[in-house]
Amino acid sequence: MAAKDKLIIFDTTLRDGEQSPGASMTRDEKVRIAKMLEKMNVDVIEAGFAIASQGDFEAVRSVAEAIKDSTVCSLARAVKGDIERAAEAIKPANSGRIHTFIATSPIHMQYKLQMEPEKVLEQAVAAVKLARNFTDDVEFSLEDASRSQFDFMCRIIDAVITAGAKTINLPDTVGYAVPDEYGSMFGRLLQAIPNADKAIFSTHCHNDLGLAVANSLSAVMHGARQIECTINGLGERAGNAALEEIVMALKTRKDFMPVETHIDASHIVPTSRLVASITGFPVQPNKAIVGANAFAHESGIHQDGILKHRETYEIMRAEDVGWNTNKLVLGKHSGRAAVKARFSALGLTFESDALFNEAFIRFKALADKKHEIFDEDLQALVTDSSVESEGNNIQLAELEVVSKSGQLPVAT
C-alpha cells in the first residue's frame, strides 16, 4: 500500500473558537487548553489574535512560552501593526507561525474592505513579505475564499506563494459551500497555479449548514493537507469543523482516506471536557465522539447486539477517544439481555426464569415512568427472597452499564 501523506492538524479553539460569543478565555485558561492540545500532538495551535487586546497578546505569548512540541500561531490582518504584534507575541515559541489574511470575495472587497481587487492583491503580498522578516512559517488566508472568483484567487495565491507564504488557507468563512464544490475548488486551484507545489493548501470550514467536517474531508480528497478545526466544533456562529470528528473519521475510515494524522485520540474526551468547562459551553449529549450518548445504547435490539459482538453497533471504541468504556443505559427500550446482565453485574441472580420474568415486568413498568433506570432502582425492584445475592459480582466483559451518577467516567 502506498505511504499516506501527513495531514497537518491546525487547532484554532483558542482563536476562532474563542470568537464564539460568550466563549472568551483568560491567559491561564488558554495555556491549560494549549497543553492538552500539545499532549494530543496537534501540529499547530492558533493561540489568539495578538492585536485584538493586551490580554490576547499576553495569552499568545504565554502559550508560545509554554508549548514546546507544537507550532504556536497568531492571527494578523494583512496590515503592518497586526503583523508586528503577532511577531512579538510568538517570539518565545520553539516554532512560531504568523497567519495573515485578507478577504478576496467581491462582496467583502466591495462592502467591507471598500478596496479594489488590485489593491487587495498588493496588500496581501506586502503582508506576506513583512511577515517573512519574522518567521519562515507564514500562512496566508483568502477570507471568504468559497465565494471568491477563481481567476482572482489564482493570481493572489501565485503572488503570495512567490512572496514566501508556506501555507495557503481557503476558508469557507460563512459556511456556504457544499462538499463537492469545496473539494473541487482545491483540485482546480492546485492544478491551475504553477507554484502550488511550494505550499500546503489548507481547509477552514464553518458549520452554518452543518457541512464543516464534510467540506474539510472533501478538500482533503482533492489535495488539501492541512485542516483547521476546533475542539467540540466551537467557533463563530454555528462553529467550526470539529477536530474530534475529523480525526476519528480519518482513523475509522483510513481505508478510504489518502492521509493520516499524528493525533493521539485518547486525549480527545478529556480535552473536550476541559474546553466545555472553561468556556461554559456544554457538549450536546448526541454530539459525535464527545457527547455523553456517543457510545451509549438503550434499545433492546442494540444492547443485545452489543452484548454478543461489540461491532454490531459500534464503529469505534469508546476507550480509543478517552472514555473509560461504552455504556448500556437501562430504559424502557432495553431488552432482557441487558437487564439480566446488569442484575448479574450487581451480584443478583435469579433462581428461575419465571422469577426473572417477574422482575423484568416490574422493570418495564418502572421504565415507563422514568427516563433511566439506575442500579439502586434495580436493587429496589428485587428486594424479596426470590433473588440470591452473590458475593462475587459477575463481570461483564468490557461493558460497564451505567454508573450511579449516570455519568460516564473520563480517562485521565
Which residues make up the interface to ligand KIV (CB under 6 A)? 16, 101, 141, 143, 169, 171, 173, 204, 206
- Rounded to a whole number of angstroms, the minimum distance from the CB of residue 224 to ligand KIV is 14
Neighbour-count burial of 131, counting CB atoms closer than 10 A to its CB (0-12 exposed, 13-18 middle, 19+ buried): buried
Among 329, 326, 334, which Cα is nearest to 309's?
A: 326
Selection from Zn ion, ligand KIV, none that 332 binds (CB < 5 to 8 A by kind) is: none
Q: What is the rounded end-to-end Cα distance, in angstroms, of the chain?
A: 35
Number of residues that bind Zn ion (CB under 5 A): 1
- The residue (of 43 and 144) whose beta carbon lies closer to Zn ion is 144
Q: Is there a contact between 272 and 232 (Cβ–Cβ < 8 Å)?
A: yes
Selection from Zn ion, ligand KIV, none that 340 binds (CB < 5 to 8 A by kind) is: none
CA dist., res. 222 & res. 184, Å (int): 6
All three cell numbers of 46? 492558533
Handedness of CA 320, 325, 329, 330 (dihedral sign): positive
Half-sphere exposure of 159 (CA within 13 A, CB side): 18
DSSP state of 108: I
- Rounded to a whole number of angstroms, the minimum distance from the CB of residue 148 to ligand KIV is 11
- The residue (of 178 and 337) whose beta carbon lies closer to ligand KIV is 178
Amino acid at 189: L
- Rounded to a whole number of angstroms, the minimum distance from the CB of residue 204 to Zn ion is 6
Is residue 84 a contact point for Zn ion (CB under 5 A)? no
Is residue 228 a contact point for Zn ion (CB under 5 A)? no
- Cα angle 180, 184, 186; round to 5: 130
At 143 the three-state DSSP class reads strand
- Rounded to a whole number of angstroms, the minimum distance from the CB of residue 206 to ligand KIV is 6
Dihedral angle computed from the Cα positions of residues 300, 306, 311 and 314, in that order, rounded to the nearest 10 degrees: 60
Is residue 16 a contact point for Zn ion (CB under 5 A)? yes
- Rounded to a whole number of angstroms, the minimum distance from the CB of residue 236 to Zn ion is 6
- The residue (of 43 and 298) whose beta carbon lies closer to Zn ion is 43
- Rounded to a whole number of angstroms, the minimum distance from the CB of residue 235 to Zn ion is 6
Among 200, 104, 184, which Cα is nearest to 144's?
A: 104
- The residue (of 90 and 329) whose beta carbon lies closer to ligand KIV is 90
All three cell numbers of 239? 462553529
CA dist., res. 103 & res. 96, Å (int): 23
- Rounded to a whole number of angstroms, the minimum distance from the CB of residue 96 to ligand KIV is 17
Selection from ligand KIV, Zn ion, none that 267 binds (CB < 5 to 8 A by kind) is: none
Selection from ligand KIV, Zn ion, none that 139 binds (CB < 5 to 8 A by kind) is: none
Residues shown for the chain: 412
- The residue (of 173 and 303) whose beta carbon lies closer to ligand KIV is 173
Selection from Zn ion, ligand KIV, none that 101 binds (CB < 5 to 8 A by kind) is: ligand KIV
Binding track over 160-179 against Zn ion, x by CB under 5 A: --------------------
Which residues, 6+ apart, have CB-to-CB distance to 94 below 8 Å?
67, 68, 69
CA dist., res. 243 & res. 246, Å (int): 5
- The residue (of 226 and 303) whose beta carbon lies closer to Zn ion is 226
- Judged by CB under 5 A, the stretch of 9-17, 132-140, 352-360, 382-390 that binds Zn ion is 9-17
- The residue (of 146 and 326) whose beta carbon lies closer to ligand KIV is 146
Chain residue at closest Cβ approach to Zn ion: 16
Give the containing element (helix H, strand E) for 45. Answer: strand 44-48
- Judged by CB under 5 A, the stretch of 10-18, 133-141, 156-164, 308-316 that binds Zn ion is 10-18
- Rounded to a whole number of angstroms, the minimum distance from the CB of residue 172 to ligand KIV is 8
- Judged by CB under 5 A, the stretch of 8-16, 189-197, 355-363, 399-407 that binds Zn ion is 8-16
Amino acid at 46: E
Give the containing element (helix H, strand E) for 77. Answer: strand 71-77
- Rounded to a whole number of angstroms, the minimum distance from the CB of residue 398 to ligand KIV is 41
The site for Zn ion (CB under 5 A) is made up of 16
